Chain A
Amino acid sequence: MKLMTCPVNGPRLISEFVYAGELRPAPDPATSDDDTWADYVFNRSGVAGIKHEWWCHSPSGVWFIAERDTATDVIMRTFLYRAPGAAE
């Protein structure tokens, strides 16, 4: 089984982790028109490539960001959201 490295708990089986989609900036709901908001709500960047994604180490509840190539499933790195030095 594939391994993933939790920034807090270290390498664990991928079955311990929950995926929650790509990290995406949300537009300001107050200033967005309907189309802009619907685009944010529904549309996804479905093209394969290196993405920053939300993952949770489920047993410990640690949320973090994984940089992963969705074409190959290679995980480049994992880091805590907005951790110092972890450029997104």
Chain B
Amino acid sequence: MFAAHAQLRPSYDVVIIGAGGHGLASAYYLARDHGIRNIAVLDKGYLGGGNTGRNTTIIRSNYLTAEGVKFYDESVRLWKDLAQDFDLNLFYSTRGHFTLAHTDAAMRTMRWRAEVNKHFGVQSEAIDAQAVADALPMMDLSCGGRAPVLGALYHAPGAIARHDAVAWGYGRGADRRGVEIHQQTAVRSIELEDRGSGPSVVGVVTDRGRISTRKVLCAVAGATPQLLAMVGLKSPIYVHPLQAMVSEPLKPWLDPIIVSGSLHVYVSQTARGELVMGASLDPYELHSTRSTFDFAESLSMHMLEMFPFLSDVKIVRQWAGLADMTPDFAPIMGTTPVRGFYLDSGWGTWGFKATPVCGKTMSYTVASDANHPLIEGFGLDRFRRYALTGEKGAAAVGH
């Protein structure tokens, strides 16, 4: 599926740092759509070993802002054709997505999201408690009496996919088009020059040697701040772990994806029958993927509030990824003040679903040295301009 390359070439047209879904997708579309094939994708670990392989694989486009909805909806559209593009089964499975509301404030937010979604032709609707009960008859709508469900945002296109396969599909597609994927290759520094018009990229130093290049795409999730420091840029990104856990395989009983912000739960059942579950972000900065027991304890408690009949179901494994968070819960993408240094970052807890559209828009941005129209709202300089995206609106309203 992938060729191993014994050595790095002395120079590449583009160096992509990070062989996760986003980096590989960008390489794939650069090679396929923009004719740029002299590309190295570098990863300090293994292909798809970061958040691509650690997320809970939810795909949706029910965002709150115009820029968010349009961007993720394009992603969902791309997702649907991806398996055929790759000739690889991604297990892209449309399951429907319920975001439960337990307070009237949350219900207002659901209605707001639904209204914005509908405006852009995205299937979302705010439904009442009875509709939730009809769709999820097995659920305890009182949530153990602690947080009765008042309604939900129902997003029919919500889907899950086999996360690793996405990286493999893009990786294989890029590999076949001549892109070199170099795993176990860590970036030590990025070389810049400044001929009076500001800094620009001239090379990348790795633990396997130096590469000349004029274009570097940074797609490294939790390591973004380290990479930014190499080119002297600052950002609002802060890194917290996001944990998840999985149950033993069970016969299918849960078709849709369920999210409860109040109970800090999201859950879906995989094609293998496992329940994949996550909660909210860990509460403090940490660049380590260690697990905590209190995570498994509190997530189980909230799971049982919703699904008390899972008492005897066992948790097999827990794990964590590193989320690079931004102040407005939207990504930071595009060109930067360093010429030839492109950012695909700030993906927080929602990067997986954006994989195809990130590849599309970042490949365009790198190839043409200009931001793709879909990512114009996501630039690094929006903070300096106090022009934050409104995506934070949703999070701040719901007590």
Contacts and interface: CB of A to CB of B under 8 A. Distances in A.
Direct A–B touching, Cβ under 8 Å = yes
Interface of A: 1-2, 15, 18-19, 22, 34-35, 38-39, 42-48, 51, 53, 70-73
B294 A15 contact: yes
Given A44-B238, A46-B239, 11 more contacts: A38-B386, A42-B327, A42-B384, A43-B236, A44-B225, A46-B225, A46-B237, A47-B229, A70-B285, A71-B288, A73-B286
Contacts of B284: 19, 53
B231 to A, nearest CB: 13
A46 B238 contact: yes
B384 A38 contact: yes
Secondary structure at chain B's binding surface: helix, strand, loop or mixed? loop
B292 A70 contact: no
Nearest 4 interchain pairs by C-beta: A46-B225, A19-B284, A48-B287, A42-B383
B44 to A, nearest CB: 14
Contacts of A47: 225-226, 229
B324 interface: yes
19 contacts: A1-B294, A18-B283, A19-B283, A22-B285, A35-B384, A39-B234, A42-B236, A42-B383, A42-B384, A43-B383, A44-B225, A44-B236, A46-B224, A46-B225, A46-B239, A48-B239, A48-B287, A72-B288, A73-B290
A15 B282 CA distance: 11
A42 B386 CA distance: 9
B89 interface: no
Nearest to B382: A42
A47 to B, nearest CB: 5
A2 B236 CA distance: 27
Residue among A34, A35, A48 with the most chain B CB within 10 A?
A: A48
Residue among B228, B229, B284, B294 with the most chain A CB within 10 A?
A: B284
Contacts of B384: 34-35, 38-39, 42
Nearest to A45: B225
B235 interface: yes
A35 to B, nearest CB: 6
A18 to B, nearest CB: 8
A48 B226 contact: yes
A39 to B, nearest CB: 6
A19 B238 CA distance: 13
A34 B324 CA distance: 25
A38 B383 contact: yes
B293 interface: yes
Contacts of A70: 239, 285-287
A56 B285 CA distance: 15
Contacts of A48: 225-226, 239, 287
A1 B224 contact: no
Residue among B285, B292, B327, B384 with the most chain A CB within 10 A?
A: B285
B283 to A, nearest CB: 6
B329 to A, nearest CB: 14
B386 A46 contact: no
Contacts of A43: 234-236, 383
A15 B11 CA distance: 50
B73 to A, nearest CB: 28
A41 B306 CA distance: 39
B324 A46 contact: yes
B288 A73 contact: yes
Interface in B202-236: 224-226, 228-229, 234-236
Contacts of A73: 286, 288, 290
